[in-house]
A and B are shown apart, each in its own frame.
Chain A
Amino acid sequence: MKNKLKQIFKGGLGQLTIPLIAIALLVIFNLIRDPSFFSIELMHNNDGNIVLAGNLISIINGASELAVLAMGMTLVTAACGGQDISVGAMAAIAGSTFVKVLKASPSITGITVVIAFFAACVVAMLFASFNGVLVAIFKIQPMIATLILFTCGRSIAYWINGGATPTVESPIINAIGGFIPGIPVPTPVLIVIAVAIIFALAFRFTSIELFTQSVGINGSAARLNGINSTFIKLLSFIILGACVAVAGSIAVGRLGLINHETILLDIEMDAILAVAIGGNSLGGGKFKISGSIIGAYVIQMLTITLYAMKVSSTDVKAYKAIVIIILVVIGSPVIKAKFQKLMNRIKDNKRKVSVKGAE
């Protein structure tokens, strides 16, 4: 135990330190403010299912789309040293495709939902590949390349929807955004867990982590070691595309309708923020997916905390910004280096004291 602690201190500020501290501070703050904030209860919902309820559940549930997108965004960031700002617009396209296919079938069954989801996946991955080709082959800066879909994505969704905001009424769709009968945990949370497991398996059974990091840290060396960096960059976008389809489908499930104007609006910035709060360099290279997931929950917990404090939804953004400034500055290389120096000085002093003691 002592050795482990020592190791953590020896490594200085680990990547996950800041997001974990942020979560801990938010938890402590809420406990002091209102000890009942984290109380969880079992209750009957409108459909008569027994489900978990409470602030904690709504935080974890509400962050689902963000967490899924943050995972994909981490890969793109690591490989390309830039971010995809079109994920919100792409989610509108994916969600619209999802609804369109559902509406096309006479009755909504499990099979049609699966088919609709795959259709949404394919469409989102195609659009993501468009971004990927611009970045990986034409070497356009990711933010500029994805600005195109950011601008026109919601218009494309509008065309898919034929100008309306179609609704889908089906217990299966409700279950995707809410609860599966008999399971008290919100389905989006289960989906996040499933996606995280898929990522973990991909890291375990392919070399994607090593190759992506190599391309992001030193593209020239990666190339000379035979890594096809174009493929790796393209792959990161395609994976992000799949994440977008998942997030879009969850969002459709929550409301039972697709509104291309508002679905997952502004989520791209939160996704990028989640990656940054997770201690990942936005310049690419080394990354930890777990950091980004925690980052997503930090953002959501912050939002819900502010709402719980009766901050109006217009003001929430301003308060959120203040906390984020603090987090980002603490996590900045300058502060990290200062902290490292301080630690070294403390260590030196200790050594001096012990040397003196020995004399």
Chain B
Amino acid sequence: MEHELLEMRNISKIFPGVKALSNVDFTLRKGEIHALMGENGAGKSTLIKVLTGVYQMDGGEISVDGDKISIRSPQDAQNNGISTVYQEITLCPNLTVAENMYIGRENGVLVNHKSREKSADKILQELGIPARSTQQLGSCSLAVQQMVAIARAVDMKCKVLILDEPTSSLDDKEVNMLFKLMRDLKAQGVGIIFVTHFLEQVYEVCDRITVLRNGELVGEYLIEDLPQVELVAKMIGKDLDELSSLSEGEEKNYDNAEVFYEATNLSSSDALSFDFKIHKGEVNGFTGLLGSGRSESVRAIFGADKVTGGTVKIKGEDVKVTKPLDAMKHGIGYLAEDRKRDGIIADLSVRENIILALQVMKGFFKPISRSEAEAFADEYIKVLNIKTASRETPIGSLSGGNQQKVILARWLLTHPDYLILDEPTRGIDVGTKLEIQKLVLKLAEEGVSVTFISSEVEEMLRTCSRLIVMRDRHIVGELKGKDLNQAQVMKTIAGGES
């Protein structure tokens, strides 16, 4: 029987409390580019990390060229011909290209710079990489740096090359350069695993797609058998037929309501220019796959990233929102996507975390008294049903869902007119998810405008009356009324052609 280049069978990986992978199969053939697809938390990175020896699998087996292998460390993976190029360049920018290609690979103390540079130049030339071996790596463009990382892997006689989000910081021209290199390697018989969230790129360069969802294998498909819209459906987990038959949500029309916030040509260091408005009491959503620019857009609204252009009107008046405090003073609250990094102040108590935003708005010289702060904390612990030992417990020791509720409480306490919630339900239990969705609807009834972002389209359909769809950092559609259903959302996310 012919052996495949790489076979992973029944791979399982358990983290405390979570089954990150359960019995996943993955097969990579010689000379193929294979896309590994899935939404956040689907298990893509866990699978890659098992394969590269960063994690130890809890079950299953891996074989290369038919030989069963065990991968205990990244070194093991390399010795078995499995190389990875990560999203962030992990090379040293202040060393030369040649040094980067050979660092950590030579035994012995003596180094022959000349021969090293010579062989490096040879590989660079073979692969058509526009770099010289003596050049400092940092002086190359990101794309070239990435290609050098690939060259290093190729030179290490890798059979399996893993590219984890290699294109996320490249422009179109650079992406094409990278694709050409990938095709060349493919012709040489290297098997490439390509992880990306750019759907178009998958269809441009890949032969096969494996889709994961919630740590389970959805299936392996030839590229021509899986149109883009079906791929999206598989990633999100709904059959198209089933989706079309879903009943439409309640129709609400805000076209005649007062506009609370309106931005024209708003752009930031991370978001391309876009127009956006939201009415009083309206719940809208930004949707699109990860990396589509939905978070960057709402961050621009809040002034979280450097605002580079555009005009903003709040309640019809021209205002300047260039930093978070400006937005807060105009009644905007923002619950950040990354709770750990941008939300909680881990070592401070629940009480301090709840009053933080209000305190900032009140100002440096008007501290909220201890008794007032305790009253606020107790009130919101009760209203939002936050499960904590006491209001003095450090927020870092709470569960994810309860941390999220504390951050919600922080913004509710400021009595915002417009609340931006970026992934408020990520990584928290189902019960809390529903509570948060209900809360959003209740706020809207009270006249608060809400922007709600979630990776789970269902959640957004339940809560939003208008959905803005983004793809590749552009707004590609706006859905409301009868268009507000999963099939339509997915069609718009995937692009009109299918």
A residues lining the B interface (CB < 8 Å) = 204-208, 210-211, 213-214, 217-218, 220-228, 285-286
Contact = CB atoms under 8 A, between A and B. Distances in A.
B348 A217 contact: yes
Contacts of B343: 221, 224
B348 A224 contact: no
Given A205-B365, A206-B365, A210-B352, A225 B347 contact: no
B317 interface: no
Interface stretch (B95-103, B130-138, B354-362): B354-362
B341 interface: yes
Contacts, number: 73
A207 B364 contact: yes
B348 A286 contact: yes
B360 A226 contact: yes
Given A206-B365, A207-B367, A226-B328, A213 B334 contact: no
Contact of B359 (A210, A221, A223): A210
Contacts of A227: 360
Given A205-B365, A217-B345, A226-B361, 6 more contacts: A204-B367, A207-B360, A214-B345, A218-B345, A225-B360, A227-B360
A73 B359 CA distance: 25
B360 to A, nearest CB: 4
Interface string B223-246: 000000000000000000000000
Identify the interface centre among A207, A224, A225, A285: most chain B CB within 10 Å of its CB.
A225
A218 B343 CA distance: 9
Nearest to A285: B347
B106 interface: no
A226 B331 CA distance: 12
Contacts of B352: 210, 213
Nearest to B373: A210
B348 A213 contact: yes
Given A205-B367, A210-B356, A226 B342 contact: no
B54 interface: no
A221 B341 contact: yes
B468 interface: no
Contacts of B355: 210
B133 to A, nearest CB: 33
B494 interface: no
A138 to B, nearest CB: 18
A224 B298 CA distance: 13
Interface in B316-347: 323-325, 328, 334, 336, 341-347
B304 interface: yes
Contacts of B323: 226
Contacts of B360: 207, 211, 225-227
Interface of B: 302, 304, 323-325, 328, 334, 336, 341-348, 352, 355-357, 359-361, 363-367, 410
Nearest to B334: A224
Contacts of B304: 224
Contact of B345 (A204, A221, A226): A221
Contacts of B365: 205-207
B346 A217 contact: yes
A227 B302 CA distance: 14
Nearest to A207: B367
A339 B324 CA distance: 42
User: Mostly helix, strand, loop or mixed at chain A's interface?
Assistant: helix
Nearest to A208: B364
B348 A211 contact: no
B341 A220 contact: yes
A118 B139 CA distance: 51
A214 B348 contact: yes
Contacts of A211: 359-360, 364
Nearest to A203: B367
A214 B324 contact: no
Identify the interface centre among A206, A226, A228, A286: most chain B CB within 10 Å of its CB.
A226
A204 B334 CA distance: 28
Identify the interface centre among A206, A222, A224: most chain B CB within 10 Å of its CB.
A224
Given A205-B365, A206-B367, A207-B359, A221 B348 contact: no
Contacts of B346: 217-218
A224 B410 CA distance: 12
B88 to A, nearest CB: 18
Closest 7 A/B residue pairs (Cβ): A226-B325, A226-B360, A226-B324, A286-B347, A207-B367, A217-B345, A226-B328
Contacts of B302: 224
A204 to B, nearest CB: 7
A146 B161 CA distance: 47
Given A223-B324, A224-B336, A227-B360, A213 B347 contact: yes
A226 B416 CA distance: 14
A221 B328 contact: no
Contacts of A206: 364-365, 367
Contacts of B344: 218, 221
Nearest to A11: B392
B364 A221 contact: no
A243 to B, nearest CB: 20
A205 B328 CA distance: 23
Contacts of A205: 365, 367
A164 to B, nearest CB: 43
Identify the interface centre among A206, A221, A227: most chain B CB within 10 Å of its CB.
A221
B100 to A, nearest CB: 26
Nearest to B355: A210
Contacts of A226: 323-325, 328, 357, 360-361
Contacts of B361: 226
Contacts of A286: 347-348
B481 to A, nearest CB: 34
A7 to B, nearest CB: 11
Given A207-B359, A210-B359, A227-B360, A222 B345 contact: yes
A46 to B, nearest CB: 46
B319 to A, nearest CB: 15
Nearest to B357: A225
A213 B344 CA distance: 12
Nearest to A213: B348
Contacts of A225: 324, 328, 356-357, 360, 410
A217 B340 CA distance: 11
A213 B353 CA distance: 11
B364 A213 contact: no
Identify the interface centre among B325, B344, B367: most chain A CB within 10 Å of its CB.
B367
Contacts of B348: 210, 213-214, 217, 286
Nearest to A204: B367
21 contacts: A204-B367, A207-B360, A207-B367, A210-B348, A210-B352, A210-B359, A213-B347, A213-B352, A217-B345, A217-B347, A218-B345, A220-B341, A221-B336, A221-B341, A221-B342, A224-B302, A224-B304, A224-B324, A224-B334, A224-B342, A226-B360
Contacts of A207: 359-360, 363-367
B283 to A, nearest CB: 22
Identify the interface centre among B304, B325, B360, B410: most chain A CB within 10 Å of its CB.
B360
B420 to A, nearest CB: 11
Contacts of A228: 325
B342 A220 contact: yes
A158 to B, nearest CB: 38
Nearest to A231: B364
Identify the interface centre among A206, A218, A222: most chain B CB within 10 Å of its CB.
A218
Nearest to B348: A213
A214 B341 CA distance: 12
